[in-house]
Structure 1
Amino acid sequence: MFGALRLPNTILFGSGQRHVIGSATARFGTRTLVCTDARMAQLDVFAAVIKDLEAHGVEARVFDQTIADLPIDSIKECVAGVGDFKPDSIIGIGGGSCIDMAKVVSVLLTHGGEPSAYYGEFAVPGPVLPLIAVPTTSGTGSEVTPVAVILDSARGTKIGIASPYIIPHMAVCDPELTMTCPVGLTACSGADALAHAVEAFTSKTRPADAMLTEQHVFIGKNLLSDHFARLAVSNVFRYLARACKDGSDVEAREGMMLASLAAGCAFGTAGTAAAHALQYPVGNLTHTSHGDGVGALLPFVMQFNRSASPEAFAELAGVVGLGDASMSVDERSQLFIDEVATLFAAIGIPRSLQALGLASGHENDVAAGALKAERLVKNNPRPLDLAAMLHITQAAYAGERAALLNL
């Protein structure tokens, strides 16, 4: 038995927990930088957070121009806007890009240099400014993870900065902040959460060497991350369709935020794999949301990986109440994959890369680009090379999972 977790010092979950932000931030000092986006900055709930900070003697400098997918120019604009403010802490409030903005800016304000200096694993040389992460969507799990993903336009792809030093000090997960999420954002965020959980649970199992966590930020499938992955998968199947159908369903919103948090706890240690690697070039070519991309890709990646870890997929079938003891492992594993595809179709996730908007003829570009995400490729349970990536991409483009059955 082997397990490992890297998590924030404090995780708070529950309706109304956002009211702790002012008090908690004051423990770090009297100045904080708040990273958010233009939509969030206009909401009354955001104004209330700023007022709470002020009531606790904390001056807030707000950067509200965070852009989805986090292009480097946006990061540089935020850093330049800080000037001589010298924050004692940084708050990221919003979707994953807002929280990732806070992570990257904390690195740059502490250690200087360009974002590219910190690409890959373990490149951040030491602790950063204390981070408080406040998610307003139920999908990315960034509030508890050691990774920030940014868009490097010069390289034409997304790329990750992965380091235990950028795990937020505190995660404040208040489901009330997700109540106004539109149905499309609810659906793609939920698809992202399920992809995190499934890829963490089915990721490559590495030998339990005592130095494993020193050599890899993401260590693959293990006892402790599996616990959180199961919880996430169970909650997504129980609550995602409900949250999409009725955004005012409080229980569904709570269930999905817990699913997202649990999925973040799982993949923040275990890591993700091919679906996320493929989404990087797909997202760059289609300019579509991360959640729609991984959601479109996940059934095809699972189909490719099933032969390498059928027991794991079969176990997830049991987690969501599919199949019975009379069925074989292969039958139950296939049942789970089919059910994921059915759920995604029901909530409007594109069923193929063509439906997502990928133009014909880009399959080779996607396959080659995905291989560049080495931290994800090495985590896949089944070995990946250019031919394998191309098989997945072609099947996903055509929307034909059957093409992957006999590979």
Structure 2
Amino acid sequence: MMPFSFSTTKTVIFRRGAAKEIDSVAGALLGPRILVVTDPGLSRLGLYNPALEALRLQGKTVVLFDAVEADPSVGTLQAACALGANSNVTGVLGFGGGSSLDVAKVASLLLGSKQPLDEAWGVNNAKGSRLPLVLVPTTSGTGSEVTPVAILTFGGEEKRGISSPILLPDIALLDAELTLGLPPQITAATGIDAMVHAIEAYTSTNANNNPLSRILAREALRLLGSHIERAVSDGQDIAAREAMLLGSMLAGQAFANSPVAAVHALAYPIGGIFHVPHGLSNALVLTSVMRFNLPAAGVAYTEIAADVFPGLADVAAADRASAFVRSLGELILRLQMPSRLRELGIPEDALPRMASEAMKQQRLLVNNPRAVSEADAFAIYSEAW
């Protein structure tokens, strides 16, 4: 048995309506002055209002920062930290999708430790303590509530990450009622994102690819594969929403310990340069990367294929991996997602630049089952175009 380590969020609360009871769940932990990090869309919907009102009724001062954008910039993080510092906040509550949760994570680190951001980039470079942190996801995709990673956009286009167990929150609160009515296109993109997390965690060549991550990845794929089309077609299907939320979290726990690889590395330039949402960026290159990986990852793909598509259990083992890749492509089409880079207005002459940018993501590429050169990245983008 190989040695491994496994870290995850200390406390996970999974319950319908739990967000309305956040005062009793996390009020004491967060202290008297709470920085709430979220986005303008949630502010318009008022999705967090019951939770924040419960905190105010407990006598808490709520400091709202609702300017988080997709692929959040370093400037957005700095603005959140400035607001938190000026208000002398005692805890941070992240409420929303992966972008809001990532900003909340880093804000809690910088406000608590006073460490300069430039010293925190990379793996295990975050130092010191952070403020108490509670994360409440409102989408089923990133799994950010159980991962030690935060991604920010640096200089307008480059994606940079901070990875440290310090970023794991004290509490992840999962309330599927918050995901009801999520638009079909967002449900589809975040659901595929979660699938990518599980697939890449299972096939990662990282030294810490471990039995727990593999078990979690397979259960995530079973939940996601059997419920994503239901969730997309009916935004009020609470059972499907719960399955997606749980599957996303399990996939997050898996890749938090057995890191992702080339799909994410090649997705980052799509998001960074062309501002395509992260889940959709992953979907655009998923099958092309998997076809590239088949010579090295075919056995692993064969093992997990029927978890997503039970009918593939009847396909001969020698053909199952390729059938898995084809079935994922067909699923993306059934979900009515764009399947080609050109459908997003990405010009073909941008592919060389994207391939060059993808090579900056070596922390991810080293986990890929098959080594990826810049020429390989260009070929994958060309196939996806």
Contact 2:305 2:312 in 1 (8 A): yes
Aligned to 1:400: none
Identify which of 110, 114, 117 aligns with 1:108: 110
1:174-323 to 2 correspondence within 5 Å? 174-206=175-207, 219=208, 221-320=209-308, 321-323=310-312
Distance 2:211 2:245 in 1: 22
Task: Report the alpha carbon displacement of residue 114 of structure 1 after superposing the two structures with TM.
Answer: 4.3
Deviation at 1:363, TM superposition (A): 1.3
Post-superposition CA distance 1:1-44 (Å, at most 9, x none):
34532111100112112133212332222121110111212334
Matching of residue 20 in structure 1 with residue 21 in structure 2? yes
- SS of the aligned residue for 1:307 comes to helix
Secondary structure of the corresponding residue to residue 312 of structure 2: coil
The equivalent of 1:43 in structure 2 is: 45
Separation in 2, partners of 1:123, 1:84: 26
* CA deviation after TM superposition for structure 1 residue 354, in Å: 1.6
For residue 153 of structure 1, report the CA deviation from its aligned partner. 2.0
Does the aligned pair in 1 maintain the 2:68–2:100 contact within 8 Å?
A: yes
| Letter of the structure 2 residue corresponding to residue 263 of structure 1 | A
- Candidates 112, 124, 140, aligned match of 1:138: 140
Equivalent residue for 1:216? none
Amino acid at match of 1:204: T
Q: What is the letter of the counterpart of residue 128 of structure 1?
A: R
Question: Residue in 2 aligned with 1:152?
Answer: 154
Tell me, yes or no, if the aligned pair for 2:22 and 2:54 is still in contact at 8 Å: yes
The Cα shift of 1:317 comes to 1.4
Deviations along 1:89-116, whole A, 9 cap, x unmatched? 1000001011011011112212335433
- Provide the rounded CA distance (Å) in 1 between the counterparts of 2:129 and 2:35: 17
Q: 1:70 aligns with which of 69, 72, 81?
A: 72
For structure 2, the 5+ residue unaligned runs are: none
Equivalent position of 1:213 in the other structure: none
* Counterpart secondary structure, 1:322: helix
Aligned length: 382
**Contact 1:4–1:223 (Cα < 8 Å) also in 2:** no
In the TM superposition, what is the alpha-carbon distance from 1:70 to its structure 2 partner?
0.7
**Counterparts of 2:220 and 2:15, CA distance in 1:** 16
Q: 1: CA distance between counterparts of 2:273 and 2:86?
A: 38
- Residues 1:146 and 1:276: Cα distance change in structure 2 (over 3 Å): same
3-state SS of paired residue (2:161): strand
Moved more, 338-347 or 315-324: 315-324
Matched to 2:304, the amino acid is: L
Structure that is richer in helix per residue: 2
Cα displacement string for residues 182-223 of structure 1 (whole angstroms, at most 9, x for unaligned residues): 1111111111111111111111152xxxxxxxxxxxx3x221
Question: Secondary structure of 1:323's match?
Answer: helix
Query: What percent identity do the matched residue pairs reach?
Result: 36
3-state SS of 2:296 partner? coil
* Structure 1 pair 102–324 and aligned structure 2 pair: CA distance change class (3 A): closer
Determine if the alignment matches structure 1 residue 396 to structure 2 residue 384.
yes
In the TM superposition, what whole-angstrom CA distance separates every residue of 1:268-327 from its partner, at most 9, and x where no partner exists? 111111111111111122221111110111111111111112111001113231334671
Cα-to-partner distance string for 1:115-160 (whole Å, 9 max, x where unaligned) = 3321110110122111100000011100000000001125x31111
Partner of 1:308: helix, strand, or coil?
helix
8 A contact 1:296–1:396 mirrored in 2: yes
SS at match of 1:309: helix
Cα gap change, 1:205/1:113 in structure 2, threshold over 3 Å: closer, same or farther?
Answer: closer
What TM-score comes out, normalization by structure 1 length?
A: 0.90
User: After superposition, what is the alpha-carbon deviation per residue over 1:370-393, rounded to whole angstroms, capped at 9, x for unaligned?
Assistant: 111121011111112212212212
| Contact in 2 for aligned 1:25/1:53 (Cα 8 Å) | no
Q: State the secondary structure of the residue aligned to 1:65.
A: coil
Q: Which residue identity is paired with 1:58? A: K
Q: Distance in 2 between the 1:344 and 1:126 partners? A: 42
1:79 aligns with 2:68: no
CA distance in 2, matches of 1:9, 1:324: 36
Provide the rounded CA distance (Å) in 2 between the counterparts of 1:326 and 1:175: 35
CA contact (8 A) 1:322 1:335 kept: no
Q: Is this contact kept in 1: 2:37–2:94, CA < 8 A?
A: yes
User: Is the 2:206–2:258 contact (alpha carbons within 8 Å) kept by the matching residues of 1?
Assistant: no
Q: Gapped runs of 5+ residues in structure 1? A: 207-218, 398-407
Superimposed CA distance per residue, residues 27-80 of structure 1 (whole angstroms, 9 cap, x where no aligned partner): 222121110111212334411111111223322111111111111111111112
* Equivalent residue for 1:367, pick from 355, 361, 370: 355
SS at match of 2:311: coil
Say whether the 8 Å CA contact 2:206–2:366 is kept in structure 1: no
List 4+ stretches of structure 1 deviating above 4 A: none
